[in-house]
Structure 1
Amino acid sequence: MTSAELLTDAFGRIKENVHGAVAGLTEKELATRLDAESNSIAWLIWHLTRVQDDHVSEVAGTEQTWLADGWAKRFELPFDDAATGYGQGPAEVAALEGISAELLLGYHDAVHDRTIEYVRGLTDADLPRVVDTRWDPPVTLGVRLISVIDDDIQHSGQAAFIRGVLLRSRRNA
């Protein structure tokens, strides 16, 4: 198995996790927060997709799907178009109310497709390329992609947990 195949598999699992966390939920359920300080499923999925879009487009040297394909306009969020969710608080999380599963999954799938197109073309020789010198040691392409995968897996797992709580609440109502 090549590095490109491993990366393709990992990003494919993230897509499965995202769809599993979101499928069949209402806008209200997607916006539900377990307490006033916690994230909603909608915010978690939007955030993990924005980070993937931002980081992968940067290393690929392409425009973000968020802007290139008009997703920023479709979401109509009160944030700067460059926002990825990093450092946002409860007020910004609340701004994701009224976002549909179709919109979240449409954006995620578009980012996933571009990500897969990029990683399928990578070779082992590409992965040591330094992509960020702001860190010590500098960040390589391989480390950046693993960082995105790690972040996405964590956030999709958080979304799946919230989904489980919501579905149990539905059954007990």
Structure 2
Amino acid sequence: MTASIDLLTDAFDRIAQTVHRTVDGADAALLSGRVDPDANSIAWLVWHLTRIQDDHVSEVAGLPQAWHENGWEGRFALPFDSHDTGYGHSSADVAEVGKVSAQRLLGYHDDVHERTVAFLGTLADDDFARVVDENWSPPVTLGVRLVSVISDDLQHAGQAAYVRGVLERQ
């Protein structure tokens, strides 16, 4: 392993740890609860961050998403397009994800985390400069895409932890 891979793996591990600390022991009311009627729930935040990681890392790895390949889409049975990751969701959409159990959320997240770490283990330092998205100026490299996923996931994991703290104090 290289230092770059070790750092990225540590970052994704921290996301998984935060997700587990936030979701472990949460009942349905806590997972679906919101700090106001239109806010995101813990369940939605964890589902969304996992969908983004699955979508983005699978794309750069050239692999199918765990959502499809490992049957998570069917197990979640959400009324969304099969490629939906949560962008632009309404309050009603957030409520749909709020029906998902802690076990299912963690199972999907753990699957995606395992696949992400396995992909990182295939990389060499030179791989991080590979352009993976030319729709931006400058074009996005693999390294930048992975840091972007980490940033997005950490923000949503922190939001979910915050929501849990607020709801538990009410």
User: With structure 2 as the length reference, what TM-score do the two structures score?
Assistant: 0.97
Amino acid of the residue matched to residue 125 of structure 1?
A: D
CA shift, 1:129, in A, is 0.4
State how far apart, in whole Å, the 1-side matches of 2:12 and 2:99 are. 27
Amino acid of the residue matched to residue 156 of structure 2?
A: H
Are 1:140 and 2:141 matched, yes or no?
yes
SS in 2 for 1:131: strand
State how far apart, in whole Å, the 2-side matches of 1:97 and 1:151 are. 20
Could you tell me which residue of structure 2 aligns to residue 74 of structure 1? 75
Could you tell me which residue of structure 2 aligns to residue 164 of structure 1? 165
How does 1:27-42 map onto structure 2 within 5 Å? 27-42=28-43
State how far apart, in whole Å, the 2-side matches of 1:18 and 1:75 are. 18
CA shift, 1:91, in A, is 1.6
Could you tell me which residue of structure 2 aligns to residue 149 of structure 1? 150
Amino acid of the residue matched to residue 61 of structure 1?
A: G
Contact 1:56 1:145 in 2 (8 A): yes
Contact 1:128 1:141 in 2 (8 A): yes
State how far apart, in whole Å, the 1-side matches of 2:4 and 2:122 are. 10
State how far apart, in whole Å, the 2-side matches of 1:138 and 1:144 are. 10
Q: RMSD of the TM alignment (CA)? A: 0.9
SS in 2 for 1:127: helix
How does 1:42-121 map onto structure 2 within 5 Å? 42-121=43-122
CA shift, 1:16, in A, is 0.1
Aligned residue pairs total: 169
Question: After superposition, what is the alpha-carbon deviation per residue over 1:57-83, rounded to whole angstroms, capped at 9, x for unaligned?
Answer: 000000000000000000000001100
SS in 2 for 1:164: helix
Amino acid of the residue matched to residue 62 of structure 2?
A: G
User: With structure 1 as the length reference, what TM-score do the two structures score?
Assistant: 0.95
**Structure 1 residues not aligned, in runs of 5+:** none
Could you tell me which residue of structure 1 aligns to residue 19 of structure 2? 18
State how far apart, in whole Å, the 1-side matches of 2:28 and 2:92 are. 17
State how far apart, in whole Å, the 2-side matches of 1:76 and 1:23 are. 22
**Structure 2 residues not aligned, in runs of 5+:** none
